[in-house]
């Protein structure tokens, strides 16, 4: 068994993190952090990217079913034991990853943490996915189903999303940006697939992707790194299956011109979403350059969108604006968005586009760049305050790049960033020909 433990310094933490990879390929990272709270987190490098039209949504459905018991702990026991100790339990599925986490008080001599580890490892390695918890397949067009189980819970989640105008705008934007790459599918999938998918399909998916070499376990808390790693190795006793190198997908063909879609819905306000496909999520220098650009564009009260479109524009149509970069492994998503008066949605879209386009002739530099650097650096101080945030950031780096470097190299790379780096990234990724635009105004649902 490999015993090597690599020590890695993290910003704003006095003790280094410890990283170890077992013979089976399971990556373990311990982040020593003072305080009574421990966060335990396992990320699996799979999500909607590994689905097709017949299986869309099963990564997320499986995430729900992972909580439905093992041979050692029947459905409900995991929740009962840990929540009785005060734990917060949850999971999340995205395009590239599925993550399971427990935040819990460490307990006397780490007793609660050890219980959480035992249950968490058991859940990750031995889920039963019982038929009675999945529920029988049914016709989603027939609402008179009597035996409603987890399939229906997920379909309720799908319906909740359809009633949410912001979510509809984002999913429409995503579908405009991607036509071939698997990122074009919604993570949550369709009611038709969820109503019909079999346990065998779900189990096959689990066996394919939930292997030692495809999992990363991260723990943050006031723990001894070496013994904590040993404890995790002891609990995570994997079988022989391996995922191997993850499949690579053909890049989405280059977009030649602006794509736009107008939606109508039962809303009282207007919505404008502009999106662009960004660089690979592991291409740190470009990702940071675009973090800077998006921050200057629309994050914070002094950003361009806030000042120019909300505060200073006479008779502005905008009530709220923002921008962000969401970091996926194959490509990031760059977004600028606004909420506006419903009668001037097209004009508002024009104003938003003009501000994005203005990043080229009026590049981010000088005081604006300095401000962005300060704010991005402060985010690391904020991360260091919460065990959960630390684990999310570290696990994200592991998923996108396979190691901690996206987190540990971020600040040195940021400090070396030049205005030319930002301008080059803006030129490359935020051109009008790459723009996808979604607008929504009051009207009948489509």
Partner 1 sequence: MSFETTGLSNGLPVVVSPAPGTPRTAVCIAIRGGSRTEAQPGVAGLAARLLLKGTPSRSAERIADEMDRRAIDLDEISGSEHMMLRATFLNSQLEPALDLMADILQHSTFADLPKEAARLAGEIQASLDQPVARARDLFVRSVFPGHPYGHTGSLVLKSLPGLDVEGVRGWYRRQLGAGNMNVVVVGDVDPDAVVPALEARLGGIAPGGEPSVAPAVSRVVGPVIATEVKAEAHQAQIYQGWYTRGHGHLDRAPLSALNTLLGAGGLSCRLFVELRDKRGLAYTVRSGFSTFADVGLFSLYIGTSAENIRRALEGFAEQMARVRDEAILPDELAHAQGHLQGEFVLGHETNTQRCTDFAVHHILGLGLDFTARFLEEVLATRPEDLQRIAQEYLSPEPVAAVVATREALAAAGLGSP
Per CB under 8 A, contacts with partner 1 among 67-126 are: 67, 75-76, 79-80, 83-89, 103-105, 112
Instruction: Tell the smallest beta-carbon distance from residue 145 to partner 1 (Å).
Output: 8
For residue 389, the minimal CB distance to partner 1 (Å) is 10
Q: H or E segment at 441?
A: strand 436-442
Sign of the four-CA dihedral 406, 411, 416, 419: positive
Which of 26, 39 has the CB closer to partner 1?
A: 39
Burial of 420 (0-12, 13-18, 19+ CB in 10 A): exposed
Is 153 one of the binding residues for partner 1 (CB under 8 A)?
yes
Smallest distance, partner 1 to C-beta of residue 115, A: 12
**CB count in 10 Å sphere of residue 192:** 15
Q: Which is nearer to partner 1, 28 or 38 (CB)?
A: 38
CA distances 282 to 58, 68, 286, 327, 359, Å, are 26, 34, 9, 9, 23
Nearest approach in angstroms of CB 118 to partner 1 is 17
Contacts of 168 (CB under 8 A, 6+ apart): 161, 162, 263, 265, 440
| Backbone φ, ψ for residue 198 (5° rounding) | -95, 160
The nearest distance, CB 220 to partner 1, in angstroms, is 11
Spatial separation of the C-alpha atoms in residues 133 and 324, rounded to whole Å: 38
Whichever of 356 and 369 has its CB closer to partner 1, that residue is: 369
Instruction: Kindly state whether residue 36 participates in binding partner 1, applying the rule CB under 8 A.
Output: yes
**Which residues, 415 to 444, sit near partner 1 by CB under 8 A?**
444
Helix axes 387-401, 366-383, angle to 10 degrees: 110
Contact between 445 and partner 1 by CB under 8 A: the answer reads yes
CB of 134: closest distance to partner 1 in angstroms?
A: 11
> Based on CB atoms, which residue is closest to partner 1, 21 or 441?
441
Structure tokens at 104: 């819990």
Q: Please report, as residue ranges, which positions from 41 to 70 form the binding site for partner 1 (by CB under 8 A).
A: 67
Residue 259 bridge partners (DSSP):
436
Please identify which residue in 28, 30, 197, 265 interacts with partner 1, judged by CB under 8 A.
Answer: 265
List the one residue from 23, 224, 237, 319 that touches partner 1 (CB under 8 A). 319
Mask 155-194, x = binds partner 1 (CB under 8 A)? xxx-xx-xxxx-----------------------------
x/- binding map, residues 336-375, to partner 1, per CB under 8 A?
---xxx-------------------------x--xx--xx
Shortest distance, CB of residue 257 to partner 1, whole angstroms?
A: 30
Q: Which residue in 143, 247, 253, 366 binds partner 1 (CB under 8 A)? A: 143
How many whole angstroms separate alpha carbon 102 and alpha carbon 388? 9
Shortest distance in whole angstroms from residue 348 CB to partner 1: 11
Binders of partner 1 in range 380-409 (CB under 8 A): 381-382, 384-387
149 scored as a contact of partner 1 (CB under 8 A) = yes
Sign of torsion, CA 294 296 297 298? positive
- Contact between 320 and partner 1 per CB under 8 A: yes
- CB-CB contact of 363 with 419 (8 Å): yes
Beta strands in 206-307 (DSSP E): 215-221, 259-265, 270-277
Q: What is the DSSP string of 122-150?
A: HHHH-----HHHH-----TT----S---H
CB 399, min distance to partner 1, A: 24
Q: Are the C-beta atoms of 215 and 185 separated by less than 8 Å?
A: no
* CA atoms in the 13 A half-sphere facing the CB of 164: 10
Q: Kindly state the number of chain residues that form the binding site for partner 1, as judged by CB under 8 A.
A: 77
Instruction: Return the number of the residue (133 or 286) whose C-beta is nearest partner 1.
Output: 133
- Candidates 12, 114, 357, 428; binder of partner 1 (CB under 8 A) is 12
Site residues for partner 1, 275-314, by CB under 8 A, read 300-303, 306-307, 310-312
CB count within 10 Å of CB 268 equals 7
Output the smallest distance, CB 156 to partner 1, in A. Answer: 4
* Least separation in angstroms between CB 166 and partner 1: 8
Closest by CA position to 187, among listed 370, 300, 25, 56: 56
Q: Which of 269, 405, 408, 413 binds partner 1 (CB under 8 A)?
A: 269
- Identify residues 238-257 at the interface with partner 1 (CB under 8 A): none
CB nearer partner 1, residue 67 or residue 328: 67
Of 89 and 395, the one with the shorter C-beta distance to partner 1 is 89
Q: Give the span between the Cα atoms of 220 and 405, in whole angstroms.
A: 17
């Amino acid at each position: 068994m490999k015993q090597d433990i690599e020590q890695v310094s993290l910003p704003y933490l006095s003790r280094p993190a410890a990283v170890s990879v077992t013979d089976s390929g399971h990556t373990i990272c311990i982040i020593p952090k003072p305080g009574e709270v421990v966060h335990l987190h396992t990320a699996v490098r799979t999500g909607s990217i590994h689905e097709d039209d017949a299986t869309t949504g099963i990564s997320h459905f499986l995430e729900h079913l992972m909580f439905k018991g093992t041979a050692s702990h029947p459905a409900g026991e995991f929740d009962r034991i840990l929540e009785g100790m005060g734990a917060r339990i949850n999971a999340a599925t995205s395009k590239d990853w599925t993550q399971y986490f427990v935040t819990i008080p460490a307990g006397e001599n780490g007793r609660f943490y050890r219980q959480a580890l035992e249950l968490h490892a058991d859940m990750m390695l031995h889920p039963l996915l019982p038929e009675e918890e999945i529920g029988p397949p049914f016709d989603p067009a027939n609402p008179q189903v009597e035996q409603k189980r987890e399939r229906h819970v997920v379909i309720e989640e799908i319906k909740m999303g359809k009633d949410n105008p912001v979510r509809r705008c984002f999913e429409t934007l995503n579908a405009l940006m991607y036509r071939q790459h698997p990122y074009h599918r919604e993570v949550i999938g369709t009611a038709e697939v969820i109503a019909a998918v079999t346990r065998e399909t779900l189990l096959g998916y689990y066996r394919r992707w939930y292997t030692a070499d495809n999992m990363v376990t991260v723990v943050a808390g006031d723990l001894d790194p070496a013994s904590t790693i040993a404890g995790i190795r002891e609990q995570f006793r994997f079988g022989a299956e391996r995922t191997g190198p993850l499949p690579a997908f053909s890049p989405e063909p280059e977009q030649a011109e602006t794509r736009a879609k107008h939606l109508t819905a039962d809303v009282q306000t207007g919505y404008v979403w502009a999106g662009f496909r960004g660089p690979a999520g592991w291409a740190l220098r470009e990702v940071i350059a675009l973090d800077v650009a998006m921050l200057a564009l629309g994050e914070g009260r002094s950003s361009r969108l806030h000042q120019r479109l909300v505060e200073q524009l006479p008779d502005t149509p905008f009530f709220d604006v923002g921008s962000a970069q969401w970091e996926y492994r194959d490509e990031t998503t760059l977004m600028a968005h606004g909420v506006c008066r419903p009668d001037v949605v097209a004009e508002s879209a024009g104003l938003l586009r003009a501000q994005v386009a203005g990043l080229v002739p009026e590049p981010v530099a000088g005081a604006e760049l300095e401000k962005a650097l300060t704010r991005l650096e402060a985010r690391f101080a904020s991360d260091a305050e919460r065990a959960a945030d630390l684990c999310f950031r570290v696990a994200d780096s592991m998923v996108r790049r396979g190691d901690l470097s996206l987190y540990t190299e971020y600040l040195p790379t940021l400090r070396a960033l030049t205005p030319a780096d930002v301008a080059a990234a803006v030129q490359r990724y935020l051109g009008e020909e790459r723009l996808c635009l979604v607008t929504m105004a009051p009207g009948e649902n489509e």
